[in-house]
C-alpha cells in the first residue's frame, strides 16, 4: 500500500525506528488528509495522544503511592517533588531530551540534544510527519515520549523519600532526566547499538521500557540510596524497624491509577491503533498486573502469615513492570506466568534489600529495578527474543543508569550535601523544607 503504513506486523517494536516509513504519496498535509490512508493515521494519532494523557495520570499514581507509603510529616515534600518532576521533566525533554533520544543517524551511543521545533505550519509538521514518523504527527510523538521521560526521576523520588534534601534532589533529577535518560533511550528506541545488536538479527527488545524506563529508574535509585544512607531509626542495633506509611487508601488509589495509566504506557507503545496489536497488549498487560497482584498477596501471606496489602499493591506494579518489555510478543497465558513470577520476586526482593540495609521506603528498587530486569529477560524466554541480547541489554542499561546516577548524585553530595539534618528528618521535611504541613487543619484528628 502506498503512503503511510497500515499495519505494523505482530512483532511491532515500540518506539522503534524500524517501523518508520519512507514517505507519503501526498505533497501537502491537506492532500494527505484526503487520501484513504488519512483515517488510519488519524485514529492512530488520536490513540497516541490519549495514551500520552494516560501516562500523564501515572504521575498522580506515583505521587499517591509514595505519599501513602511514607509518614505524614513528609507528605508535602513528596508531593512537591513529584509535581516538580513532571513539570521539569516535560520541559527539559522539550529543550534537549527528545532530540537527543531520537537523533536520526548517529554513532549509536550518544547524540547531542536540541530544542523541539517551534514552527507548526502545515508544511513543517507534514515534512516531519511523513518522512520520519509512521502513524502519528511530530507533536504526538513528542508529547507521548515526554510523558515517559519524567518517570525515571519519579522512581528515584520514592526511594530517597523522607531524608533527601529538596534542592539537591531537584538538581540531580533535572540532570538525570535531561541528559542521562535520553542516552540509554537512544541506544534502543533511537536506533542505537542495542537496536542493531548482532547486525539487527539478534536485536535487543524492550517494547515499552521494562529496562529503558523502569530498570533505568530502579538502578538510578539504588545508586542514590547507597550514597544517601538509610532513614534514621530504620536499622537499629542490627534490627530492621519498619517505618510505616500514613495512608493505605492513598497508596491503593495510586496503584489503581498506575494500572489505568499503564494501558497508555504499553498500549500507546504500539505506536498505532492497529487492532490486533493494541488489543493483545491490553490483554497481556492486564493479565500480568492481576497475576502479579495475586503473586504478591499470596507470597506475603505465606511468608509473613498475614495477607499484606502493600505487598499486593507492589505485586501488581511488579507484574506490570514485568510485562512491559514483551507486552506485544508474549502470549496471554505466558503473560500470566510473567506477572505471577514478578509478583513473587518483588516480595523476596523487598525483604532482601531490607536485609542489606538498603532503605527504600516504597520498594522502588525492587519493583522497577529487579522486576524491570526480569521482564526484559522474560522476552528472551517467552517473547521470541534472544536471551543473551536481552540479558546484555538490561545489564547495560541498568549499569549505565547506576553509574551515571552515582556520579551525579555523588557530585551534588560533595558540593551541597544530599541529606537533611537529623533534626529536620525527625521533625519532618514538610515543616523543615517547606514550612507547610500536609494536614494543618484536620479536625477529624480530635475524634476517636
Binders of its own copies in range 324-363 (CB under 8 A): 331-334, 336
Show the binding pattern over residues 85-114: x = contacts its own copies (CB under 8 A), - = does not: -xxx-xx--x--------------------
Q: How far apart are CA 345 and CA 348, in angstroms?
A: 5
Contact 355, 198 (CB under 8 A): no
Among residues 136, 189, 235, 265, the one that binds its own copies under rule CB under 8 A:
136
CB 345 to its own copies: min, Å: 17
CB 396 to its own copies: min, Å: 30
What residues numbered 245-304 form the site for its own copies, per CB under 8 A? 245-250, 252-253, 255-257, 259-260, 263, 267, 273-276, 278-280, 282-283, 286-287, 289-291, 293-294, 297
What residues numbered 137-166 form the site for its own copies, per CB under 8 A? 137-140, 142-143, 146, 166
CB 94 to its own copies: min, Å: 6
**Number of neighbouring beta carbons within 10 Å of residue 282:** 16
Q: Is 23 in the site for its own copies (CB under 8 A)?
A: no
Q: Is 200 in the site for its own copies (CB under 8 A)?
A: no
Among residues 178, 212, 215, 316, the one that binds its own copies under rule CB under 8 A:
316
Q: Is 403 in the site for its own copies (CB under 8 A)?
A: no
What residues numbered 63-82 form the site for its own copies, per CB under 8 A? 63-64, 67, 71-73, 75-76, 79-80, 82
Please state, in angstroms and as integers, the Cα–Cα distance from residue 158 to each residue in 65, 148, 202, 325, 416, following that order. Answer: 9, 17, 35, 22, 21
Q: Is 178 in the site for its own copies (CB under 8 A)?
A: no
Please state, in angstroms and as integers, the Cα–Cα distance from residue 39 to each residue in 24, 29, 50, 115, 429, following that order. Answer: 14, 13, 16, 30, 52
Among residues 149, 208, 338, 438, the one that binds its own copies under rule CB under 8 A:
438
DSSP designation for 97? I
For its own copies, how many residues bind (rule: CB under 8 A)? 129
Among residues 116, 226, 391, 392, the one that binds its own copies under rule CB under 8 A:
116
Q: What is the DSSP string of 286-354?
A: HHHHHHHHHHHHHHHHHHHSS--HHHHHHHHHHHHHHHTTTTTTS-HHHHHHHHHHHHHHHHHHHHHHH
Q: Is 309 in the site for its own copies (CB under 8 A)?
A: yes
3-state SS, residue 358: coil
CB 138 to its own copies: min, Å: 8
Enumerate residues 6+ apart whose C-beta is below 8 A from 108: 187, 191, 192, 193, 196
Which cell is 281 given?
Answer: 497488549
119 versus 236: smaller Cβ distance to its own copies: 119
User: Which among 187, 184, 157 is positioned nearest to 172, based on CA atoms?
Assistant: 157
CB 423 to its own copies: min, Å: 16
Q: How far apart are CA 408 and CA 145, in angstroms?
A: 24
Which cell is 241 given?
Answer: 524497624
Among residues 125, 381, 392, 396, the one that binds its own copies under rule CB under 8 A:
125
116 versus 227: smaller Cβ distance to its own copies: 116
Q: Is 42 in the site for its own copies (CB under 8 A)?
A: yes
Q: Is 239 in the site for its own copies (CB under 8 A)?
A: no
Instruction: Identify which range of 178-186, 311-319, 353-361, 371-379 contacts its own copies by CB under 8 A.
Output: 311-319
Q: Is 208 in the site for its own copies (CB under 8 A)?
A: no
Instruction: Identify which range of 35-43, 183-191, 208-216, 394-402 contacts its own copies by CB under 8 A.
Output: 35-43
Among residues 200, 237, 238, 440, the one that binds its own copies under rule CB under 8 A:
440
DSSP designation for 419? B
Contact 143, 49 (CB under 8 A): yes
Q: How far apart are CA 351 and CA 321, in angstroms?
A: 19
Q: How far apart are CA 136 and CA 141, in angstroms?
A: 7
Length, in residues, of the chain: 448
CB 364 to its own copies: min, Å: 19
CA 58 to chain centre: 9
158 versus 393: smaller Cβ distance to its own copies: 158
66 versus 203: smaller Cβ distance to its own copies: 66
Which cell is 66 given?
Answer: 509514595
Instruction: Identify which range of 206-214, 345-353, 404-412, 430-438 contacts its own copies by CB under 8 A.
Output: 430-438
Q: How far apart are CA 153 and CA 221, in angstroms?
A: 8
CB 312 to its own copies: min, Å: 5
Q: Degrees (nearest 5) of the Cα angle 137, 141, 143?
A: 115
3-state SS, residue 240: strand
Amino acid at each position: 500500500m502506498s503512503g503511510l503504513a497500515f499495519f505494523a506486523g505482530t512483532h511491532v517494536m515500540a518506539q522503534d525506528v524500524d517501523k518508520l516509513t519512507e514517505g507519503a504519496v501526498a505533497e501537502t498535509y491537506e492532500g494527505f488528509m484526503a487520501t484513504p490512508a488519512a483515517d488510519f493515521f488519524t485514529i492512530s494519532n488520536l490513540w497516541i495522544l490519549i495514551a500520552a494523557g494516560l501516562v500523564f495520570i501515572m504521575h498522580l499514581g506515583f505521587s499517591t503511592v509514595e505519599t501513602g507509603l511514607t509518614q505524614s510529616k513528609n507528605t508535602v515534600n513528596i508531593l512537591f517533588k513529584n509535581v516538580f518532576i513532571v513539570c521539569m521533566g516535560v520541559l527539559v525533554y522539550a529543550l534537549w531530551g527528545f532530540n537527543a533520544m531520537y537523533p536520526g543517524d548517529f554513532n549509536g551511543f550518544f547524540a547531542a540534544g536540541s530544542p523541539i521545533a517551534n514552527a507548526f505550519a502545515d508544511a513543517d509538521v507534514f515534512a516531519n510527519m511523513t518522512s520520519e514518523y509512521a502513524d502519528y504527527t511530530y507533536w504526538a510523538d513528542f508529547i507521548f515520549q515526554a510523558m515517559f521521560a519524567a518517570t525515571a526521576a519519579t522512581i528515584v523520588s520514592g526511594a530517597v523519600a523522607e531524608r533527601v534534601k529538596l534542592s539537591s534532589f531537584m538538581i540531580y533529577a533535572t540532570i538525570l532526566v535531561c541528559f542521562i535518560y535520553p542516552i540509554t533511550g537512544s541506544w534502543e528506541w533511537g536506533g542505537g547499538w542495542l537496536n542493531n545488536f548482532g547486525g539487527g538479527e539478534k536485536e535487543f527488545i524492550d517494547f515499552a521500557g521494562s529496562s529503558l524506563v523502569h530498570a533505568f529508574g530502579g538502578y538510578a535509585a539504588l545508586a542514590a540510596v547507597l550514597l544517601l544512607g538509610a532513614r534514621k531509626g530504620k536499622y537499629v542495633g542490627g534490627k530492621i524497624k519498619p517505618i510505616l506509611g500514613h495512608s493505605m487508601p492513598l497508596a491503593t488509589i495510586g496503584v489503581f491509577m498506575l494500572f489505568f495509566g499503564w494501558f497508555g504506557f504499553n498500549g500507546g507503545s504500539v505506536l498505532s491503533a492497529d487492532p490486533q496489536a493494541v488489543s493483545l497488549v491490553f490483554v497481556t498487560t492486564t493479565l500480568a498486573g492481576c497475576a502479579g497482584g495475586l503473586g504478591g498477596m499470596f507470597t506475603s501471606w505465606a511468608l509473613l502469615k498475614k495477607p499484606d496489602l502493600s505487598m499486593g499493591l507492589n505485586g501488581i506494579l511488579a507484574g506490570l513492570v514485568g510485562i512491559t518489555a514483551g507486552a506485544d510478543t508474549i502470549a496471554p497465558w505466558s503473560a500470566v506466568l510473567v506477572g505471577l513470577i514478578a509478583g513473587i520476586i518483588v516480595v523476596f526482593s523487598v525483604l532482601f534489600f531490607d536485609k542489606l540495609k538498603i532503605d527504600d521506603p516504597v520498594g522502588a528498587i525492587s519493583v522497577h529495578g529487579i522486576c524491570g530486569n526480569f521482564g526484559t529477560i522474560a522476552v528472551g524466554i517467552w517473547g521470541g527474543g534472544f536471551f543473551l541480547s536481552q540479558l546484555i541489554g538490561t545489564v547495560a542499561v541498568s549499569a549505565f543508569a547506576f553509574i551515571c546516577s552515582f556520579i551525579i548524585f555523588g557530585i551534588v553530595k560533595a558540593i551541597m550535601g544530599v541529606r537533611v539534618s537529623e533534626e529536620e528528618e525527625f521533625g519532618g521535611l514538610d515543616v523543615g523544607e517547606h514550612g507547610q504541613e500536609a494536614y494543618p487543619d484536620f479536625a477529624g484528628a480530635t475524634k476517636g
